[in-house]
Amino acid sequence: MFTILKRAFGIDDKEKKRDKISKDELEDLLLEADVNYDLLEKILNQLPENITRVQLYNSLIAIFDYKAKWIYPTAETKPFVELIIGVNGAGKTTTIAKLANRYLEDNKTVMLGAGDTFRAAAIEQLTQWAKKLDIPIVATKQGHDPSAVVFDTIKSAIAKNIDRVIIDTAGRLHNQVNLAEELKKMVRVADKALKRAPHRKLLILDGTQGSSAINQAKAFDEIVGVDGIIITKLDGTAKGGSIFSIADELKMPIYYIGVGEKAEDLMKFDVKWYINSILDEIFGKE
């Protein structure tokens, strides 16, 4: 992960560690890391010309100082049902597999629901992951009613005493009204299958998409109410600062970040660790 942070923030191993960083240097780092300019100005305006580690830490941690409702499984929420939403290409299917793998590592039983019935490839891909992870899946044919998949998955999980249910959805563009209505229907049907389900609606955002990802999140939140975010593709190019922009704009819980393609490449998001890891690369380890 430290290598990823170095890439994401354009940090050169050859640079000497320092006690302070200039505003100009910091501005260049944050711009390259895809922090949006309005937030960048807000950060820089409250800092002196030469910035210490403590000063920068306080500025960055303040971005996450917002009230958000964190949702976790309880004894009353079994099975704990999650609906995974987001546009095509954000990494939903792979993220579902990573979530399932995490739950398995926590000794929880998991069932998948292939609710993306618009793409045959999505059903096939999720089915392959279920086989690889050796977990049950409820799937149907392309074009079938995704809400029926939601209902059948939840009812099957109840019957089999499953701990966690993860349901995929189609990669819906937020401006497609019919697909938005279908997503609302899936939420209603989940509640019919199990009161108060889905317990958590997680939005998958591509960390390389910048303001486009933020606009997607706002649109999905208006449609069904987003309970939290997973940010993917943070193992790629210099886009690590998108986390700050997403947090500042959306003020939603960020549960996980994706840092690779393997099933284990999903990390719980720890904001203090994340910021300190960045500062370690800029200033040197304390």
Summarize pLDDT for 258-283 with one digit per residue, the tens.
Answer: 988 787 889 999 999 889 988 887 88
Q: What is the pLDDT of residue 12?
A: 55
Q: What is the pLDDT of residue 236?
A: 57
Tokens for 118, please give them: 């618009």
Q: Compute the distance between CA of residue 208 and CA of residue 204 in angstroms, rounded to an integer.
A: 12
Q: Contact at 8 Å (CB) between 61 and 247?
A: no
| DSSP per-residue letters across the chain | -HHHHHHHTT--TTSPP-SEEEHHHHHHHHHHTT--HHHHHHHHHTS-SEEEHHHHHHHHHHTT-S--------TTSSSEEEEEE--TTS-HHHHHHHHHHHHHHTT--EEEE----S-HHHHHHHHHHHHHHT--EE---TTS-HHHHHHHHHHHHHHTT-SEEEEE-----TT-HHHHHHHHHHHHHHHHHSTT--SEEEEEEETT-THHHHHHHHHHHHHH---EEEEE-TTSSS-TTHHHHHHHHH---EEEEE-SSSTT-EEE--HHHHHHHHHHHHH---
Phi-psi region of 164 (alpha: psi -120 to 50; beta: other; left: phi over 0): beta
Tokens for 182, please give them: 């279908």
Q: What is the pLDDT of residue 231?
A: 94
213: amino acid identity, one letter? A
Phi-psi region of 252 (alpha: psi -120 to 50; beta: other; left: phi over 0): beta
Q: Contact at 8 Å (CB) between 52 and 33?
A: no
Tokens for 18, please give them: 């320092």
Would you give the end-to-end CA distance of the chain in angstroms?
18
Report how far apart, in Å, the C-alpha atoms of 132 and of each of 80, 90, 135, 178 are: 22, 21, 8, 34
Q: What is the pLDDT of residue 114?
A: 97
pLDDT (tens digit, 9 = 90+) per residue, 14-70?
455 789 999 999 999 888 888 889 999 999 999 999 999 999 999 999 999 999 999
**Residue spans of the chain under pLDDT 70:** 1-16, 172-175, 236-239, 286
Q: Which residues make beta-bridge pairs with 230? A: 204, 256
Report how far apart, in Å, the C-alpha atoms of 121 and of each of 118, 127, 134 are: 9, 10, 19
The residue to which tokens 């947090």 are assigned: 247
Enumerate residues 6+ apart whose C-beta is below 8 A from 265.
Answer: 98, 235, 258, 259
